[in-house]
Structure formats: C-alpha cells, structure tokens
Amino acid sequence: MKILTAETVKSADQFTIKNEPIASILLMERAAATCARWIFENGKNHTKFAVFCGNGNNGGDGFAISRLLYLKGFDVDVFIDESNKKFSEDAQINYQKLKEISGISIRDFKEIAGIEFDQKTVIIDALFGTGLSRKLQGSYAEIISKLNTLKQIKISIDVPSGLFSDKILEESQTVFKADYTLTFQLWKQTFLHPETGKFTGEVIVLDINLSKGFIEKSESDYFVIDDQMIESIFWPRNEFAHKGSYGKAIIVAGSYGKIGAAVLATKSALKTGAGLTFTIAPNCGYEILQTSCPEAMFISGGEKFTEEIDIQQNAVYGIGPGLSTNSLTEKALLKFLKQTENHLLLDADALNIISNNKKSIQLIPGNSIITPHPKEFERLFGPTENSFERLELARTKAKELQIFIVLKDHHTQIITPEGKVFYNTTGNSGLAKGGSGDILTGIITSLLAQKYSPENACIFGVWLHGKAADFAADKFSKESMLPTDVIDELGNVFLMLNKKATTQL
C-alpha cells in the first residue's frame, strides 16, 4: 500500500469526484457511512457519543457521522464553536441536516466545562483531520487539552486533530490522543513514527473507494507492507524440491556467555526453511548448539570467541548476534568482508565492530542488508534529532552504499538502495526483549538462502517476524511471550500463508 502526501490524497478526492463521477457531498456521505458502520459494529457496548466538529470537511464528516449514529439508535451530542459558524460548503450542508433532527443536541465547546461524561460515552474528534497546516492555538488547543484528560474511549476521524500527515510535530504541539483513528483509504506517514504515531491509537484504514487508478499512477517512495504485498512475495515450496533447492544459510554468532544469541538465530533460520543451516561459533558453544539445534551443522570459529570465519561458496551469511567485539573477532570479520563479494546480512556486534572505524563501512558488499536498532544506526552514521531525520539519513546512506537498511523500530522501516521505504505494521511491544533481533537475523538470512531477493527477503522477513510475534502475544501476552515463542509461531504463519496460496488456485 502506498503512502501519499495529504496534498496528493486531496487530489485523489478531486479526481474521484470528477471522474467517478460523484458529488463531493456524496463522497463525504460515503466516508461518514463507512465510519459509522465501523463504530456501530465495534462500539455496541457504548450508547452515547460526543462528537466535536470543526468548520472544515473533517467537521462535515463529523456532522454526517453524528446523524448516521443517531439513526442507528445512539444518543449523540455535537459540539461546535458557536462563535464561528463559517463552515465549508459540504460541512454547511451536513450541519443543516443535523439541525433538522430534534433528538441531537448541538452545543458550544465551552459547555464541556460543566459536563460529566459517563463511561458509556465515546468521544469523537472531527475537528481538523488532514486540513491542518499549522500548530493549534487558542480555543481549539484548549478543548483538545481538556478532551485528552478524559478517560472515555476516543476516536479520531482521518487524522487526530493537531497532527500533521506528513511531518514531525512542532515543539509543545497540542494533539488529540486517540484510542482509535479511522483513516481514509491510505496510511499517513506520521502514523508510523514513534513521536507522532503515539497519538493515533489503533489505526483502522477504511476504504472509501477513492480512484484506484489515480492512486496507482501517483508516485511515492513510501509504502506500508500489507497482506497483498506479502502474498505476491511468498512462494510455496515445490513438492519435488530437495534440500539443495533451498540454499545454504550460515549464521556467524555467539561468544562466551552469549551462545543463546547463536541458538536463537540458528533456530529461526531453520524454522524459516533454509535447505542447509550452519553455525560458525566458538567451541564453548558446541554442546549447546548441537543439543538445541541438532538440524544445524557446527563449524568451529575459535575457543571463546570467533577468530576465523570460514568462507564457503554458494552460501548466505548472517553475521553478528552475540558475536562480541573482541579484537580477534574484529580482525576475522574485517578480513572476511575484504574477501567476499556476495551480499550478506550484518547485525548487532558485526555493526558495532564496523562502527569502530567508519572506513570499514565501505567493505560491506553491495546489496547486503544491515539491521540496526536506533543506537546501532547512530554509531554507524551519526546522531539525528528524531526518527524522521533518521529515516532520511538512512535513505541517503542506503543509496550511497547500495545496501538495504532494516531500521528496527515499532514500525520497522526497510530502506532500499533506490531510496524506497517500506513500513512494517506487524509486531508488538512483546518483541521489546533481548533476543528478538537475533531471530530476525536468522529469518532474513534463511530467506536470502532460499533465493528471495534482498528486497523481498527484508520485506517478507520483517513482516514474518512481526506476524509470528502477534501470534505469540495472542497466546502468551506481550509481557510473558519469549523470543523462543516467536520462533515456535513461525510455522503457524507459514500454515496461514500456504492456506491462502492454495485457496487462490
């Protein structure tokens, strides 16, 4: 799914109105009906709605949603700025329709000071949407600040008021903090960054049938990984294949006290389907690895630390989990990078070793993948002010080095050498545990070994990692799920994908 700017989405609205054709007021009604349907289906335990409407088209959506919810049997109060009723044309039409319904109270924002909303009331924010271009001030900032103190469930229509669609917040900016955001047609970029996404709650993307042709032709370097993209990448296994058909994955990981990282990376490579899996690790981990991962073959890299990285042809390497930054390991890694031309994956301590001497970055073979978390990224490429700046720096470096960067975050970003960005939306905070990144290394290395392209291995691997984590969280909770639980759920994700692939035949 593409991510388009607010300006391009506005153009998509206008194109749809002109070419469907459909009157703008009917497109607003379509959007409102889609929202009201979702609210009705998911909010049956709530009987009352307090809808806060602005003067623009987002307010028009709010007026229409209020009318439709009332007709479905809910109690609805609508709040507006009585001192300023200069509504947009379509908002004015829906405001007039609302006034004709005697059962809906229309109140002034100021009245909220004397109202105690009960727990059955849902607050709906239809104040600004994508129409905001400046920091909120005055009465609107005050009303949003007041609403944010309430404990009732809060829903934003399209975009939480006060939030921009395409850029970072200004300092001390007031933003409505939603539990749910019902957004139209496409994700907004700000929903996917930690500084701004924290205001959206759960994002529900509602299809309001904007022109598919216009969206397809609109250029963008930013995408959200969705099920359709994954289904186009994944291929089921050939019944007549053999182990040589699915490649050779070599995990270089572990050191004294950190053999668990090698176990996690190796197990996840095995569970993701590599034909042959090897682990290069120090001898202190031999028994642990042979016992916990009997399907993988062990190659000695040293005694307590890896001092030699064996070079094998026709193999894909995933290097870094628990490796340590021992001087002998550093020497072995840099020697290996100088001698290989094949793409590979570098993570964790492999990245920390490279960051010790920035010239070493140039040794990374083209089309390779690095998977830094924000601190590792900073060590490699320098500090940035926020995640938006970090992403743009990653785009610059990916182009410059001709590598893929998997920038780990709540919504992990995959950055390609062409500067494209793919945001992942699977996964949860249960992955905020040591070992989660080791699993991702094993998954992506395994996919590379199976001849997925580096781009597809990154996209599929990150999605797969997150989806397995979502399955694990459903079973064990985010608090109690372990990285090993995530590995165990990989099989269930593949079962789901294979079932879909078979159904589509």
Say whether 167 sits in a helix, a strand or coil.
coil
**CB proximity list for 432: less than 8 A, separation 6 or greater:** none
Q: Which fold has domain 6-217?
A: Rossmann fold (3.40.50)
Q: Rg (Cα) of the chain, in Å, rounded?
A: 26
Measured CA to CA, the distance from residue 293 to residue 298 in angstroms comes to: 9
Residues for the chain: how many in total? 505
User: For every one of its 505 residues, what pLDDT tens digit does the chain have, with 9 covering 90 and above?
Assistant: 999 999 999 999 999 999 999 999 999 999 999 999 999 999 888 889 999 999 999 999 999 999 999 999 999 999 999 988 999 999 999 999 999 999 999 999 999 988 999 999 999 999 998 877 788 888 889 999 999 999 999 999 999 999 999 999 888 899 999 999 999 999 999 999 999 999 999 999 999 999 999 999 999 999 999 999 999 999 999 999 999 999 999 999 999 999 999 999 999 999 999 999 999 999 999 999 999 999 999 999 999 999 999 999 899 999 999 999 999 999 999 999 999 999 999 999 999 999 999 899 999 999 999 999 999 999 999 999 999 999 999 999 999 999 999 999 999 999 999 999 999 999 999 999 999 999 999 999 999 999 999 999 999 999 999 999 999 999 999 999 999 999 999 999 999 999 999 865 4
User: Tell me: domain 230-503, CATH 1.10.510.10, correct?
Assistant: no
User: Edge-to-edge, what's the strand order for the sheet holding 369-370?
Assistant: 222-224, 421-423, 413-415, 404-407, 369-370, 345-346, 316-319, 248-252, 276-281, 297-300
Measured CA to CA, the distance from residue 224 to residue 198 in angstroms comes to: 17
Domain ranges in the chain?
Answer: 6-217, 230-503
The predicted pLDDT at position 171 comes to: 81
pTM, two decimal places: 0.96
Place of tokens 């785009």: 395
The predicted pLDDT at position 136 comes to: 85
Q: What is the DSSP string of 106-138?
A: EEEGGGGGG----TTEEEEEES-GGG--S---H
- Cβ atoms within 10 Å, residue 229: 17
CA 441 to chain centre: 18
Q: What secondary structure letter does DSSP report for 2?
A: B
The predicted pLDDT at position 114 comes to: 87
